[in-house]
Structure 1
Amino acid sequence: MGASRIVPNRFADDSAAGRAFFTDVLGLDLAMELDFISTYCAPGHHGAQISVIANDPSGLKPDYSVGVDDVDDCHARAVAQELEIVYPLTDEPWGVRRFFVRDTVGGLANIVEHRTS
């Protein structure tokens, strides 16, 4: 299992609220936008990202997201270590499979694998 990106998550009433700052001031590209999240990435460095989230459909506020190539394996290892699974392994309608786990320093991690159909 390998992590391909680690993304800090910021929360705002409007997920598009930071667009001018992230694109015009910092020069980031808009990598993904759904009704509840906008993700920006550094041009040519798609592992360098930041997300602005209005309301995650889980109802939770993960501190960061980690993109992995095998979320099922990562989930099994978290369970084997008896870590707290805060949001169950779920296939989301926007094309990701993910779960939330409490890390060992108290943060809430969104572990996600993008699925292609």
Structure 2
Amino acid sequence: MSIRRVMPDIQSDAMAESQDFYECLGFETVMDLGWAMTLASPSNPTAQVTFISRDESAPVVPDMSVEVDDVDAVHAVMLERGAEIVHSLRDEEWGVRRFFVRDPNGRVVNVLSHR
């Protein structure tokens, strides 16, 4: 299994203000779904931060996202280990396959692959 990127997910009721603030730091908006927005460094595109007002299809907002090369394989490992799956494995309409799992610290991790 290979990790492609890791980014913090910040629950926010101040999406426009967050966008403005992080653009002042040099980030650029690379995805804006209205309820979720990702900003990335133009010089290092895997340096990213995501702001989420609510999750469109999940019961909770994750604390972190980890993009992997094979989300199905990671999901199988988590099931074998008895990890708590918070949001079941599924294909989302915005082009990712993902699931949420709770880590030992109680944090919710969004594990995903782009289709």
Give the TM-score normalised by the residue count of structure 1: 0.91
| Matched-pair contact (CA < 8 Å) for 1:16–1:52 | no
Task: Name the % identity.
Answer: 41
Counterparts of 1:105 and 1:13, CA distance in 2: 24
SS at match of 2:46: strand
Which blocks of at least 5 consecutive residues in structure 1 are unaligned? Answer: none
Q: 1:114 to 1:22 in 2, by over 3 A?
A: same
What's 1:77 paired with? 77
**Aligned equivalent of 1:103:** 103
Residue matched to 1:42: 41
**Structure 2 residue aligned with 1:54:** 53
Contact 1:41 1:49 in 2 (8 A): yes
RMSD between superposed Cα atoms in Å? 1.1
User: CA offsets per residue over residues 51-74 of structure 1, 9 Å max, x none?
Assistant: 010111113111100011100000
TM-score, normalised on structure 2? 0.93
Moved segments of 4+, more than 4 Å:
none
- Secondary structure of 1:45's partner? coil
Tell me whether 1:10 sits opposite 2:10 in the alignment.
yes
